[in-house]
């Protein structure tokens, strides 16, 4: 018999709530907070939404609320149980986290993710996200199922989190489905995914879906300033580059970003001033040579072109409009240089952005990287038209 979500009772939470660190997710935290406050617990949940929006962090906060002997409102830094459920060092024996991985890693004896050994969850998540061929393996799911069937070591709950659950292979998904149909009374399962509909319909039907959303720039900026003690300029730049993802704002290597952005900005300035195809070939060769980071470099270039489009339109409307547009720039710290470049390239902004989007798509389809970048750079020369990359 399948147990209906919401049919289990827990001790109601008290105090300020379990989600003080979660930014810009009122809908998700509201659903979970009401479940805790009412004492009715969903035994199986799916946290779904864009990457970097705090799904894993919220899952761990929910774990702390369930497992903390002092209740959900207890300060986590004073509680031994809460301190052991941390994104940087998971050591609690009643929390299991599963990530996509390789068969080789599993067979070489990667530790069972049962909290028995400290796990850096942020590092494991980032590694899995960067290797899209990895999968959540059936053998790891079997270990997790054994973990759930055992009685909790310290409290009354055992929690299994499957991160990036849409990357389960078919045998793993079917194995997990069985325990979703009849979970042990002490078990809570949380699946996180960037694509709800990539999960089996039978899995979705047995879980309560909890949506996550992109976070506004202002919320991310406020969080970075108030909670992470960043300066306003750094916080504003990080939030603008984050694309609404709090994880991206926190993980950004700002020094490396600024270095690469400066190199790309100089290329734009050089090509906009001079109509020399030889420069195009040389600059495209240098950029394409960084094979692993070419797409990332072109994404940085996209933020610059987006700012040029915005500022170019504002400059046409007059000085006052340009001043009003400045806070909306992603690379606002380069505003004076952007204004100078916008006078040359701004009117062509829509064509440039479309051309770069086509170039990125062609590169992702395994086109000739250097030739594609050369074609795009040729379109930046004065008076040139942007060619369409080949199919």
Return the HEC string of the chain: CCCCCCCEECCCCCCCCCCCCCCCCHHHHHHHHHHHHHCEECCEEEEECCCCCCHHHHHHHHHHHHHCCCCCCCCHHHCHHHHCCCCCCECCCCEEEECCECHHHHHCCCCCCCCCCCECHHHHHHHHHHCCCCEECHHHHHHHHHHHHCCCCCCCCEEEEECCHHHECHHHHHHHHHHHHCCCCCEEEEEEECCHHHCCHHHHCCCEEEECCCCCHHHHHHHHHHCCCCCHHHHHHHHHHCCCCHHHHHHCCHHHHHHHHHHHHHHHHHHHHCCCHHHHHHHHHHHHHCHHHHHHHHHHHHHHHHHHHHHHHHHHHCHHHHHHHHHHCCCHHHHHHHHHHHHHHHHHHHHHHHHHHHHHHHHHCCCCHHHHHHHHHHCCCCCCCCCCCCC
Domain spans of the chain, in order of start: 8-213, 216-252, 253-378
The 10s digit of each residue's pLDDT in 302-316 is 999 999 888 877 766
Higher per-residue pLDDT: 319 or 170: 170
pLDDT of residue 322 exceeding 90, the answer is no
Minimum mean pLDDT range among 20-29, 161-170, 324-333, 370-379: 324-333
> Which fold would CATH assign to domain 8-213?
Rossmann fold (3.40.50)
The 10s digit of each residue's pLDDT in 367-376 is 888 899 999 9
Task: Give 382's pLDDT tier (boundaries 50, 70, 90).
Answer: confident
What lies within 8 Å, CB to CB, of 311 at 6+ separation is: 322, 325, 326, 329, 335, 338, 339, 342, 346
Higher per-residue pLDDT: 347 or 130: 130
The 10s digit of each residue's pLDDT in 33-70 is 999 888 888 899 999 999 999 999 999 999 999 988 87
Are the folds of 8-213 and 253-378 the same?
no
pLDDT for res 293: 79
What lies within 8 Å, CB to CB, of 197 at 6+ separation is: 204
Looking at residues 256-264, what average pLDDT do you find?
Answer: 92
CATH number of the domain at 253-378, out of 1.20.272, 1.10.287, 1.10.10, 3.30.420? Answer: 1.20.272
Inter-residue contact 305 to 359 (CB < 8 Å): no
pLDDT of residue 154 exceeding 60, the answer is yes
Phi, psi of 9 (to 5 degrees): -110, 140
pLDDT for res 356: 92
pLDDT for res 2: 37
pLDDT for res 258: 93
Higher per-residue pLDDT: 72 or 219: 219
170-to-106, 183, 338 alpha-carbon distances in Å: 18, 20, 50
The 10s digit of each residue's pLDDT in 4-34 is 344 444 433 333 467 888 999 999 999 999 9
pLDDT for res 271: 87
Looking at residues 193-215, what average pLDDT do you find?
Answer: 96
Q: Return the structure tokens found at 173.
A: 């998904």
pLDDT for res 15: 38
pLDDT of residue 106 exceeding 90, the answer is no
pLDDT of residue 194 exceeding 50, the answer is yes
pLDDT of residue 295 exceeding 50, the answer is yes
């Amino acid at each position: 018999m399948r147990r209906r979500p919401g049919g289990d009772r827990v001790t109601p939470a008290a105090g300020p709530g379990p989600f003080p660190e979660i930014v810009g997710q009122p809908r998700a935290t509201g659903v979970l907070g009401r479940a805790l406050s009412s004492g009715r617990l969903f035994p199986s949940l799916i946290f779904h939404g864009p990457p970097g929006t705090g799904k894993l962090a919220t899952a761990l906060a929910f774990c702390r609320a369930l497992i903390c002997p002092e209740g959900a409102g207890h300060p986590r830094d004073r509680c031994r149980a809460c301190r052991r459920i941390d994104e940087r060092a998971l050591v609690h024996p009643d929390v299991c986290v599963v990530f996509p991985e390789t068969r080789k890693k599993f067979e070489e004896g990667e530790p069972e993710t049962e909290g028995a050994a400290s796990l850096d969850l942020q590092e494991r998540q980032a590694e899995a996200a960067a290797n899209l061929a990895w999968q959540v393996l059936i053998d790891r799911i079997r270990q997790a199922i054994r973990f759930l069937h055992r009685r909790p070591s310290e409290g009354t709950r055992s929690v299994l989190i499957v991160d990036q659950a849409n990357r389960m292979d078919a045998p793993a998904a079917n194995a997990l489905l069985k325990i979703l149909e009849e979970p042990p009374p002490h078990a809570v399962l949380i699946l996180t995914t960037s694509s709800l509909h990539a999960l089996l319909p039978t899995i979705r039907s047995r879980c309560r879906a909890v949506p996550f959303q992109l976070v506004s720039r202002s919320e991310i900026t406020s969080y970075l300033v108030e909670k992470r003690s960043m300066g306003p300029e750094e916080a504003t730049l990080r939030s603008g580059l984050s694309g609404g993802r709090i994880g991206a704002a926190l993980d950004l290597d700002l020094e490396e970003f600024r270095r690469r952005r400066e190199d790309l900005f100089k290329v734009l300035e050089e090509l906009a001033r001079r109509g020399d195809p030889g420069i195009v070939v040389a600059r495209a060769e240098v950029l394409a040579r960084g094979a692993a980071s070419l797409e990332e470099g072109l994404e940085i270039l996209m933020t610059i072109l987006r700012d040029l489009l915005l500022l170019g339109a504002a400059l046409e409307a007059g000085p006052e409009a340009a001043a009003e547009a400045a806070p909306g720039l992603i690379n606002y710290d380069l505003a004076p240089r952007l204004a100078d470049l916008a006078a040359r390239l701004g009117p062509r902004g829509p064509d440039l952005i479309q051309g770069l989007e086509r170039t990125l798509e062609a590169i992702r389809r395994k086109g000739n990287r250097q030739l594609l970048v050369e074609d795009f750079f040729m379109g930046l020369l004065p008076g040139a038209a942007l060619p369409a990359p080949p199919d």
